[in-house]
Amino acid sequence: MTDRGLYPSSIHPPLLPTPEDDWFLRLRLLRSRRVGISTFNRLLIEHGTAQNALDALPELARAAGVENYTPCPVAVIEAELKAGQTAGAILISQTAPAYPSALRDLADAPPFLWAIGDLSVLERPMISIVGARNASSLGTRMAKSLARDLAAAGYVIVSGLARGIDAAAHTAALDTGTIAVQAGGVDMMYPAENTELALAIPEHGLRLSEQPMGLQPMARHFPPRNRIVSGLGRATIVVEAAAKSGSLITARDALDQGREVLAVPGSPLDARASGCNMLIRDGATLVRNAADVIEALAPMAPRAPALPMDLPHTPPPQPPRDRRSLRETAALHSQILNRLGPAPLAEDQLIRDIAAAPSDVAPVLLELELDGQIERSPGGLLTRPN
């Protein structure tokens, strides 16, 4: 059966599917209890069709010790689709032409996305801008400046509709096109203070969510939301971020997805800049203005429209600095954590085990220690907390 997706034609309004439609069955499978994206994909591969996977679920659950398991009821999906129709939302399946190509090849790509607004923005190049909710005045102005100038250069600005940096970036790109990825249902206005902004975005842009209609966002919904924010953009720019923040999770997602990571530097005395400064230290591109972003993306985004003439001139590229890249840092983090356990291990032995230079290992150990992922005992012995 051809996957139509659920998006309007120029003649007819979108038709609600029947429970026998293949992607209605796929949505039932995805919304079934304990079925995440990886399980959803595995079940389709193993059983061939969504109907076969739904039929197999109760027995699979019983084998895992879950009795009386039933897949998502048909009525729940029918209610979700009707709610989407009432809200003017569009459901896009992963195999539909309207699905964003930037997400299609991700291992954890959302099988379905609800969208409200102008789908054409998904066909344009995108850049993600994220940062602190409690943004400083300077950070807010920087986010607006970057978003405005990058939008003028032809980019769609992607962010998460949070207060602070997200809201500033969306606001600056309202007239040219911006995409807000929501942690809850696409019809849920969160935070409430951004309701007016959320309602304005669909005029020239788009609100997106992988969650069911009507779902109130909870803390656990934000990290998955972040991977969509980073996945849509050719690059992720972090404007302000603390050392432990959702913005750094988005930056790590971008790195894992093979996207560029860029950061705006800040004062070492401002905790809101500590995450950005760490990213730059570890190899992220330093950003002063939109010209820096476009220069960094030039190899992957040729023919981007020229920036407005009032932007400052970008100096010639400097010779590469001798420092670890973000990918090398992430690999070193993993090596160290994989080697450590509850039993104490001497630091010099760890360095020999992973065959790394002490000058590379020392700062990473400090980062992990400050992050609470490792503990240092008297005598320089290292352990990983249980």
pLDDT at position 74, please?
95
What phi-psi label fits residue 105: left (phi over 0), alpha (psi between -120 and 50 degrees) or beta? alpha
- Assign 364 a pLDDT band (cuts: 50, 70, 90): confident
Q: Provide Rg for the chain, Cα atoms.
A: 23
Confidence at 310, pLDDT banded by 50, 70, 90: very low
User: In which band, very low, low, confident or very high, does the pLDDT at 384 lie, cut at 50, 70 and 90?
Assistant: confident
- Residues near 175 by beta carbon (within 8 Å), at least 6 away in sequence: 151, 204
CA–CA dist 20, 2 (Å, integer): 13
Cβ neighbours of residue 220 closer than 8 Å, sequence gap 6 or more:
none
Helix (H) / strand (E) containing 114: strand 112-117
Q: 181-235, pLDDT tens digit by residue? A: 999 999 999 999 999 999 999 999 999 999 999 999 999 999 999 999 999 999 9
CA distance 255 to 333: 14
Over residues 363-368, the mean pLDDT reads: 72
The CATH fold assigned to 326-383 is Arc Repressor Mutant, subunit A (1.10.10)
8 Å CB contact between 242 and 272: yes
- In this predicted structure, the answer to whether residue 7 has a pLDDT above a threshold of 50 is no
Torsion angle of C-alpha atoms 168, 88, 210, 125, degrees rounded to 10: -50
Distances (CA, A) of 10 to 13, 66, 87, 264: 8, 47, 19, 43
Query: Pairing state of beta strands 375-377 and 381-383?
Result: antiparallel
Helical H runs in 48-194? 50-63, 74-87, 101-104, 137-152, 165-172
**CA 197, CA 17: separation in Å to the nearest integer?**
32
Residue with tokens 């790590």: 252
Between residues 382 and 291, which one has the greater pLDDT? Answer: 291
Region at 2 (left for phi over 0; alpha for psi -120 to 50; beta for the rest): beta
At residue 369, does pLDDT exceed 70? no
Distance (Å, whole) CA 210 – CA 229: 12
Query: Longest Cα pair distance anywhere in the chain, in angstroms?
Result: 75
Distance of CA 220 to the CA centre of its chain: 14
How far apart (Å, rounded) are the C-alpha atoms in residues 237 and 233?
9
In which element (H, E) is residue 292 found? helix 290-297
Beta strands in 118-258 (DSSP E): 126-130, 156-159, 178-181, 206-209, 235-238
Q: In this structure, what token pair is assigned to residue 281?
A: 């230290």
Q: Tell me: the pLDDT tens digits for 36-93?
A: 999 999 999 999 999 999 999 999 888 888 888 999 999 999 999 999 999 999 999 9
26: three-class secondary structure by DSSP: helix
pLDDT at 348: 78
Give the predicted TM-score (pTM) of the model.
Answer: 0.75
Query: What pLDDT is recorded for position 319?
Result: 38
Fold designation for 101-297? Rossmann fold (3.40.50)
- What are the residue ranges spanned by the domains of the chain? 19-72, 101-297, 326-383
Is residue 266 within 8 A of residue 240, CB to CB? The reply is yes
CA dihedral defined by 32, 38, 42, 45, rounded to 10 degrees? 100
**HSE, side-chain direction, 13 A CA sphere, residue 124:** 25
